[in-house]
Structures are given as structure tokens and as C-alpha cells.
Amino acid sequence: MITPPSSGQTLLSRPYTSTTKKALRDNRIELVRASWHELSISINDVLLSDEGQYTCSLFTMPVKTSKAFLTVLGVPEKPHITGYTSPVMEGDPIRLTCKTSGSKPAADLKWFKGDQEITDVEKKLERDSNGKTFTVVSVLDFRGDRKDDGAVVTCRVDHESSAPQIATQALDIHYTPTVKILPSTPLPQEGQQLILTCESKGKPLPEPVLWTKDGGELPDPDRMVVNGRELTITFLNKTDNGTYRCEATNSIGKNSAEYILIINETLFTTTIIPLFTTATVKTSVTITPRSTSSVSGTKDPNAYPGPAATDHALIGGIVAVVVFVTLCSIILLGRYLARHKGTYLTNEAKGAEDAPDADTAIINAEGSQVNAEEKKEYFI
């Protein structure tokens, strides 16, 4: 809408004229409002050719005019991506080209892989045949990688004339298998069951996998059972020690992994506890040391554990021997004293041994009292 200057005089309306001073005669142009103070028009289906300077003239003496410049933006076309051929082998170069035309001013193209913007790209700008709009080309170069398999690459067009427009391309990358062997237990022991799982990833998916031992076939198919990707050894023994290999193959190539099996023997530790035998003396005191173990090797629940039990048993044995020797010494000493006392009493009656009768014995005994003072008694 262009509003001419107000002069307070009668306005004679004329159609807007372009910079070429031609009257506007086009079915796309409609008169919206006409009054002494305002003249408005609308243009339907604006074209790039509608861009230019428009003039409103008020025919007075002198003639007065008002001018306005109309800028028409070129809306870019929806972008499209070319140059991709599926599938792509891992390591092969990939070149993707994104193109959009008809933008004015030139549009901006951006590349994304997932949510991550890719800035290392090549851009080209070309002017269209009409001389007013531009074609923008952006080229993305990279190499196929297994981590990009299934990723979506996006080309986005940003322009002030419209909302962003995008084009997408999903990546299909084929790659050789990766192989890893996972054991069911980290420390296999003799007599146990062991399951080795061959985890292989690749595209196309490698199926099936091949199990070998020490470079040859599995030696005991009765105990070594292959079920898909799993190798089960039902009962381990020392003959199973060796290197197990899992090999996976697809149309791109093959790969393998190895697992070295070493059977861990179960270790049994035997503890030897010394046995002490103590003789029992039939006296009023009997000392019996605590036994730390039975003949069968079964541990006494009341015994002290470890080296302390041996020390206590040794001390008990020594004490018992000392007590035994002491008691024997006391008994021998008592018997010795008893024997000497009996001999003394017998000598006192020795004078009556030759008497024919009791009276004579008494007399002899009395006679012996004369020398009684000469006798000395010793008591120990």
C-alpha cells in the first residue's frame, strides 16, 4: 500500500506505474481501497518480475508523487540428495550431493549426521538462467564406517522466505564380522560344565560360526556340543586344555577369536596335628591333658585352633610328666621310711628270740634295759 502526500485538494487516482512508467494492467492486480487520501492495491501470485519501483502520482499543479521499491524473494526448491548407491562396503568413499534452486538471495545448505552438524563440506553457488535466483550445491565426502551403518544423513535448506526444508539419506554399510568369545565362568575347574559363547557382529550377519580346537576339529563330540553360537563342554578334565577358536564369515570377509582353556585343579590341604599319650597314675590325683584330635583326625570341637592347640598340649604333657615323677618320688620315699621303722621295732624284741618261755623273755627284756641309755634312736 502506498499513501500519497495529503494536499487537501481533490485526488485523481491513476493506476500505479512501475519504473518503466507503464500503467499496471494485470489481472493479478486488484484495487483494494480508493479514497481522497488513500489508494491501495494487491498483487496475487507474486512473480520475480513484479520486483521493482512503484510510483503513485497525484495530479495537481504541480504533480506530486510517492515511490516505493518492491523486493520479491525467491523461495528455494525442496533439496534433494544424489550420489548414493546402496550398499556401501566399509572403507569405500561416499560422495553425497545436495542441491536446491530458485532461491533469492542464495539459500544456505547444512549437513547433519544424526544431531551432529558436519562442517567440512564443499559449497558451490550458481546463478539461474533468469538471472535473478540462485542454485546452491553442497558436497559431502566421507568413507563408509561400520559405526555409521543405519545412520541418517540430512541436508537442510535455510532461507528467510520459508521454513527450513530437508532431504534425508539412510546409510547401509556392510562390514566384516567382529568376534568375541565369552566363557560362562572365569575360572573353570575340573568336573564342571563350561559354555563358550561366540559373539559375532557383522553385516550381513555371519551365520553359522565354526568351532575348532588347537587348529583341528573338536576331539570329543559326546562331551563337546555345538548349538548355534555356543560350545558346551559337559564335564571338564585336563585333556580339554588347549586353544579354542571361533571363526565367523560373511560375504565381506571373515574374522576369528581365540580362548585358551586351562583347567584349575581343586587343592586339598591336610593339617597334621601331633597326638600326645599320657600315662595315668593310680593315685589320689589324676591329670589328663585335653586331646586335640582323635586317631581318625577328627578335630575336637573344644580344642584350640592352630598352633595354640599344639602349645597347650605340649605344656600339658610336660606338667603331667613332672607330676608323675613327683608322685613316684613321694611313694618311693614313703616306702623307704616305712621299711626303716619296721627294722627298728624288730630289733627291740630281738632279746626275746632265744627265751624258752614268756617269763624268760620278759626277764631278758628287762635285763636289756640296763644298756638302754646306750641306745640311740634316730628318726627321719
Report the distance separating Cα 179 and Cα 207, nearest Å: 12
Per-residue DSSP letter, 23:
B
What pLDDT does 7 receive? 38
Contacts of 27 (CB under 8 A, 6+ apart): none
Helices (H), the chain: 307-348, 358-367
What pLDDT does 28 receive? 87
Tell me the pLDDT tens digit for each residue of 172-209: 999 999 999 999 999 999 999 999 999 999 999 998 89
Residues pairing with 231 in the sheet? 196, 226
Q: pLDDT category, 352, cuts 50, 70, 90? A: low
What pLDDT does 9 receive? 32
| H or E element in which residue 174 lies | strand 173-183
Query: Which of 81-85, 118-122, 283-287, 362-366 shows the lowest per-residue confidence on average (mean pLDDT)?
Result: 283-287
CA angle 188, 191, 195 (to 5 degrees): 50
- The residue among 72, 104, 123 that closes a domain is 72
* CATH number assigned to the domain comprising residue 109: 2.60.40.10
- The residue among 171, 187, 218 that closes a domain is 171
pLDDT of residue 342 exceeding 60: no
Report the distance separating Cα 198 and Cα 212, nearest Å: 12
Q: pLDDT category, 35, cuts 50, 70, 90? A: confident
Tell me the pLDDT tens digit for each residue of 81-123: 999 999 999 999 999 999 999 999 999 999 999 899 999 999 9
Q: Are 306 and 257 within one domain? A: no
Please state, for a pLDDT cut of 90, what percent of the chain lies above it. 48
Say if 257 falls within a structural domain: yes
Say if 362 falls within a structural domain: yes
Grid cell, residue 310, equals 599344639
Report the distance separating Cα 308 and Cα 128, nearest Å: 102
Q: Are 288 and 354 within one domain? A: yes
Half-sphere exposure of 84 (CA within 13 A, CB side): 22
Say if 126 falls within a structural domain: yes
For residue 290, what are the domain limits?
273-368
pLDDT of residue 376 exceeding 60: no
pLDDT of residue 264 exceeding 80: no
Q: Are 238 and 294 within one domain? A: no
Grid cell, residue 324, equals 608323675
Grid cell, residue 290, equals 585335653
Report the distance separating Cα 380 and Cα 371, nearest Å: 23
Q: Share the mean pLDDT of the chain.
A: 78
- The residue among 171, 199, 219 that closes a domain is 171
- How many residues does this entry show for the chain? 380
| Residue 162 vs residue 6, higher pLDDT | 162
Q: Are 296 and 325 within one domain? A: yes
What pLDDT does 65 receive? 83
Q: Are 244 and 319 within one domain? A: no
Q: pLDDT category, 40, cuts 50, 70, 90? A: confident
Say if 289 falls within a structural domain: yes
DSSP per-residue letters across 204-226: SPP-SEEEEETTB--S-TTTEEE
For the four alpha carbons of 134, 46, 55 and 8, in that order, the dihedral sign comes to negative
Q: Which residue has the cell 575336637?
A: 300
Say if 379 falls within a structural domain: no
Report the distance separating Cα 210 and Cα 192, nearest Å: 24
What pLDDT does 314 receive? 81
Q: Are 137 and 198 within one domain? A: no
Q: Which residue has the cell 593310680?
A: 282
Contacts of 116 (CB under 8 A, 6+ apart): none
Q: Are 2 and 52 within one domain? A: yes
362: left (phi over 0), alpha (psi -120 to 50) or beta: alpha
Q: What is the mean pLDDT of residues 334-347?
A: 62
Residues 176 and 89: beta-carbon distance below 8 Å: no
Q: Which residue has the cell 577369536?
A: 257
pLDDT of residue 80 exceeding 50: yes
Say if 127 falls within a structural domain: yes
pLDDT of residue 296 exceeding 60: no
Q: Are 245 and 294 within one domain? A: no
Q: pLDDT category, 274, cuts 50, 70, 90? A: very low
| Residue 137 vs residue 379, higher pLDDT | 137
Q: pLDDT category, 39, cuts 50, 70, 90? A: confident
Grid cell, residue 292, equals 586335640
Q: Are 165 and 202 within one domain? A: no
What pLDDT does 289 receive? 41
Q: Are 245 and 295 within one domain? A: no
Q: Are 278 and 354 within one domain? A: yes
Tell me the pLDDT tens digit for each residue of 201-228: 999 999 889 999 999 999 988 999 999 9
| Residue 285 vs residue 109, higher pLDDT | 109
| Residue 346 vs residue 339, higher pLDDT | 339
Strand-by-strand arrangement of the 108-113 sheet: 116-118, 108-113, 152-159, 162-170
Q: Are 60 and 114 within one domain? A: no
Q: What is the mean pLDDT of residues 16-21?
A: 42
Residues pairing with 245 in the sheet? 212, 258
Q: pLDDT category, 307, cuts 50, 70, 90? A: very low
Say if 268 falls within a structural domain: no
Say if 7 falls within a structural domain: yes
Structural domain total, the chain: 4
